[in-house]
Amino acid sequence: MADLGYELVDAWEDPVRRTEIPYVTEPLAIPYSGFYFRLQ
């Protein structure tokens, strides 16, 4: 993102909210995360 002229302002992970992958039979929980970038 830095190569495109953006700077990272904030990043977070939500341990409660999970991403589910359709058609995956084994239990798999990927933590939800987010990022906020600002164009410099």
pLDDT tens-place string over residues 12-29:
988 777 777 788 777 677
Number of domains present in the structure of the chain: 1
pLDDT tens-place string over residues 3-16:
999 999 999 988 77
pTM over 0.75: no
Residue 25 belongs to domain spanning? 2-39
The long-range contacts involving 32-40, CB below 8 angstroms and separated by at least 24 positions, are 35/8, 35/10, 35/11, 36/8, 36/9, 36/10, 36/11, 37/1, 37/6, 37/7, 37/8, 37/9, 38/6, 38/7, 38/9, 39/5, 39/6, 40/5, 40/6, 40/7
